[in-house]
Amino acid sequence: MPPRQAIFGGTFDPPHAGHVAAAICARTQLDIELLHIVVANDPWQKSAERLVTPAHHRFAMALLAFRDFDGMVVSDLELRRGGPTYTIDTVSELEQPGTEMLLVMGPAAARGVSTWHRAAELAERVSLAVLQPRGAPSVHVEGWRSETVLMEPVEASATFVRELLSHRSAQEIPPQAAQLVPPAVMSYIVEHRLYSP
């Protein structure tokens, strides 16, 4: 079996406990040698719907969220490339001969992956590692090689965290948000007044 690397891409606005748990489960369950945490520069499917926090802040928060874990590296590759973020371009830059490449993603992203830029080519070059909360129905994506990553349900989403933080005063941290966001990330959020009213 060839060595495996994986890409866990996202907006990370902000990175939270669910992201960290997903990365740990994917790496350990699928025997991934190196997990690239790739911060999207311009997540075109999201930036059309809402204001996205500037990329340099999201990258800095991702560095803090994943800094204590072996076998994970936070990449600014898409930030340096600039422009809209397309996974196929990131795969082209990171894949290595003799190495199997996987994409780690949640069920919702997996269901929509066939709408991604150059999806047919992407399906030939990578396998999907689909995160599945225990007890939830499994997701199979037609035309893609895929594996399941089982994880305990984590009641966290970036949307929910932003909503919690949007109602605080400048220095106040809602207790629920503090449980969902790594402490170093929360300190960064407070310092830079992100998500404040």
Instruction: Give the domains, in start order, of the chain with CATH numbers.
Output: 4-154 (3.40.50.620)
Q: pLDDT value at position 169? A: 65
Q: What is the distance between the alpha carbons of residues 152 and 66, in angstroms, rounded to a whole number?
A: 19
What is the per-residue DSSP string for 41-80?
SB-HHHHTTSPPPPHHHHHHHHHHHHTT-TTEEEE-HHHH
Q: pLDDT value at position 32? A: 98
Q: What is the pLDDT along the chain (197 residues), one digit of tens a residue?
A: 899 999 999 999 999 999 999 999 999 999 999 999 999 997 655 555 678 999 999 999 999 999 999 999 999 999 999 888 789 999 999 999 999 999 999 999 999 999 999 999 999 999 999 999 998 888 989 999 999 999 998 888 999 999 999 887 656 788 889 899 999 999 999 999 999 87
Sign of the CA dihedral with 167 first, then 169, 175, and 178 last: positive
pTM of the complete model: 0.92
Long-range contacts from 135-141, C-beta under 8 angstroms, 24+ separation: 136/107, 139/107, 139/110, 139/111, 141/110, 141/111, 141/113, 141/114
Q: pLDDT value at position 131? A: 96
**What residues does 98 pair with on adjacent strands?**
none
Q: pLDDT value at position 10? A: 92
Q: Which H, E and C letters describe 3-17, residue by residue?
A: CEEEEEEECCCCCCH
Q: Tell me if 42 sits within 8 A of 83, measured CB to CB.
A: yes
Per DSSP, the chain holds a count of helices (H) and strands (E) of 10, 6
Q: pLDDT value at position 184? A: 97
Q: pLDDT value at position 121? A: 97
Q: What is the distance between the alpha carbons of residues 47 and 12, in angstroms, rounded to a whole number?
A: 13
Q: pLDDT value at position 45? A: 53
Q: pLDDT value at position 196? A: 82
